[in-house]
Amino acid sequence: MLRIRAKVRRACEEISDNREFFLTLAASIVFLFVLLTKVFVKGVVFPIETSDKYIGSDRDKPFYEGCVDTMQYLKDPAYTKMNATFVMLTRNEEIDGVLHSVNSLESRFNQWFHYPYVFLNDVPFSEEFKREIKNAVSGEVQFGLVDKYMWQIPEETSDPRAFKNAIDTQGDRGFLYGGSASYHRMCRFYSGSFYRHPLVQRHEWYWRVEPEVDFYCDITYDPFFEMARHNKKYGFNILIEEIYATVPNLFRYTMAFIKKYRIKTKTLWKLFSMNHYILKTSNQELQDWVNFYRDVEPKLVEKLIIEDFLKGEDPEDSIGLNFLIRRSKSSTPIVEDKFENEEYNLIHFWSNFEIARVDTFDNPIYNAYFEYLDKMGGFWRERWGDAPVHSLGLGLTMNVEDIHYFRDIGYQHSVMAHCPKNAPHKQLVYKEGDPRHKRGYFKNWYDSTSENGSGCRCSCPSQRDTEDKSSECMDRWKNLLTADDAELDGGRHSGYVDTNKVERKLKQKLFQSD
């Protein structure tokens, strides 16, 4: 027994002497295992996730990749501080969440730029709330009251029984926040009232902030200035799909508004609308039948075979007869949510994060759009969120070039988080602009860099990036960024399959002997 213990002790001593070697070897094995597990499973190669790819084109790309020397940036004669503000709708009892957001925003950005804040509430802010906020921020602060006209939904007083019944029904059906009257008010307020508030109206630009949010990367340049310099009007950070049950009639009313006021949509419209106008043809029946690309060939084959059968050259043609009988028994397919050959794909900018010009929404077309939707009652009969309303409204007035994706800003609110990889060779040493945000040794540890990274000193959460969870949405955005001008010409969709060309190819296959 003593001999065994001695051998074990000597083995441990040898391992200790070669600790660095063994640690390096172990780390290498773990790295290779993780890499192989991530890339190969039973011979299947997994595609690279969206967050690892480059997203950008001449239409839009990050203003900067990595860090900027902020002190030099501020001294640049070309730089001008903008007439801009942060905007937050909140309540007195949310002070802890508000301070969490403010401290994160100050640490990551505003300690160098000192932009002001506008806090809004439907009741007066307490003196304690005001004192806490003023002690936390580096810019001026204004506290505003939202009047009843802006805050309350008209039907609360004109038809309170119907209003309560609609809200209770949505709660009973399990709609997320659907049973909360306050949530409905908030969505309506952000859809069409916040930008009309006198305190917001004093500014040209706004940055929307929510209580209890985190910023994960240092923003070492001025987003407001860069938006203005690059002729951008609206900036987003997260692109996802809406829950269908909350907006079943939103697109129908939007299309009715477009038709009533003869609105010519802009190129951004194609980000939010699904095209059912597949065929370039004057045959309306054929057009109604083909709603998806997968329908094109089967329906055209049916058409050609029936036409050939009806020529009467082969009356015993059972194949042609079967096709004719099958078509006579079938009815034109109904796509429930298709209007004017288009359908809402539920994609929207997550409006909890927005950096935009105030007149992005405060303009005749968007104001008329909001007023029209408000009269339809969807803000209480359904649970229309301000995010899909903003997005479809932007599709009426904005081109793709007007929009900026703030990919380099790491951000989280609730369960949604986007955080970029750090840009390679473009990371600078952190220098605080406010002693309150001095970072200790451990807070100066940041994530490693990546080839297509864009962030500056990012420390990302462990949860999966929304870019990867909503990859279909991001693919649609990337396709618009890289589309040629002809593809983006005009906001509305048009047929993109040449019927005659496809028919000629099919005829060669079907009737080669002819």
Looking at the annotation, which residues are catalytic? 354
Q: What Å distances lie between residue 272 and 251, 377, 471, CA to CA?
A: 10, 22, 15
Q: Among 75, 110, 102, 356, which Cα is nearest to 219's?
A: 110
Give 145's strand partners.
121
Name the token pair of 93. Answer: 């009892």
Classified as helix, coil or strand, 405 is strand
Interhelix angle 499-510/296-310, rounded to 10 degrees, is 60
Residues for the chain: how many in total?
A: 514
Looking at residue 137, its amino acid is V
| Three-point CA angle 134, 137, 141, nearest 5° | 55
DSSP category for residue 362: S
Sheet hosting strand 213-215, strand order edge to edge: 213-215, 411-413, 416-418
**And the tokens for 66?**
């990595």
SS3 266: coil
Query: Are the CB atoms for 185 and 427 separated by under 8 Å?
Result: no
For 357, 402, 446, the CA distances from 227, given in Å and listed in that order, are 9, 9, 27
Q: Which residue has the tokens 């047929």?
A: 495
DSSP assignment string, 416-429: EEE-PPBPTT----
Q: How far apart are CA 386 and CA 404, in angstroms?
A: 19
SS3 assignment, position 207? strand
Alpha helices per DSSP H over 40-79: 70-75
- Record the tokens describing residue 346, joined without a space: 């539920």
- What CA–CA distances, in Å, run from 479 to 62, 393, 473? 17, 21, 10
What CA–CA distance (Å, rounded) separates 40 from 116? 51
In 3-state terms, what secondary structure has residue 274?
Answer: strand
349 SS3 class: strand
- Taking the C-alpha atoms of residue 226 and residue 80, their distance in angstroms, rounded to an integer, is 10
Give the distance, in angstroms, between the CA of residue 496 and the centroid of all CA atoms in the same chain. 26
Q: Is residue 91 classed exposed, middle or buried when 0-12, 13-18 and 19+ CB atoms within 10 A define those classes?
A: middle
Q: Are 230 and 56 in contact (CB under 8 A)?
A: no
- How many CA atoms are closer than 13 Å to the CA of 3, on its beta-carbon side? 0
